[in-house]
Amino acid sequence: MRIALFDLDGTLTPLDTEDTWIRSIGAAGLGDTAPHQRFHDDYHAGHMDNAAYLRWYTGLLAGLPAADVARLGAEVTERIVASVGPLRRSWIARERERSDVLLLVSASNAFLVEPIARALGLDGTIASEYVMDGGRFTGELGAEYNIGPAKLRNVERWLAARGRAWGDLERVGCYADSINDLTLLAASSHPFAVDPAPALELEAQARGWPILRGERTA
């Protein structure tokens, strides 16, 4: 089995899906989104307090009315899909020829990531799952937060549910931009650093990984 794993934010899109979503919530006056900037900065620096972030974020989600969740979610996913330019889409097309399964593997909310994956023609998603009931978020995390080394663990769980194991894979293409994805990239047979942040660019250069540059459409 050959698979391709694509990070979303900063990799297939130059935007940040979760940032766009949270800013939309704030702009609509639906919650206090001021703490987000600190978490956002810490994430990109590679040292975000995941537990603190999840306490804040799940509380924010739990206060959102179902109608606003649907409306803002649709607006955000449409914007993210539109930001994926031809060059970045060509990476998907190339992997379609090389791989049996293409997955979007993201720390962003699965509620947003799943429709984005469908629109881009990918086969499935591994993202951060938050429990929903009747179109509203309950404030509970549905599975292990899909960030950092957890991405590899969650891909392994996805494979195990299908009777497969990481070690059995013939080829793994992996595309990511952040040092937070180093574990997943390093475990893959064909890693690609996409518009890498400085820390990941240094790692990619040291390890001889290809570095890809995408267009900056927004």
- Tokens 């900065």 belong to 41
Burial 120-142 (b: 16+ CB within 10 A, else e): bebeebbbbbbebeeebbeeeee
41: left (phi > 0), else alpha (psi -120 to 50), else beta?
alpha
9 has catalytic annotation: yes
The candidate with the shortest Cα–Cα distance to 5, out of 118, 110, 131, 152, is: 152
Of the residues 7, 16, 177, 181, which is catalytic?
A: 7
16 has catalytic annotation: no
- Which tokens belong to 16? 């940040």
* Chain centroid offset of residue 104 CA: 7
* Helix, coil or strand: residue 189: coil
Of the residues 9, 16, 19, 195, which is catalytic?
A: 9
Q: How many angstroms separate the Cα of 178 from the Cα of each of 11, 63, 124, 182, 192?
A: 9, 30, 21, 7, 11
| Catalytic residue list | 7, 9
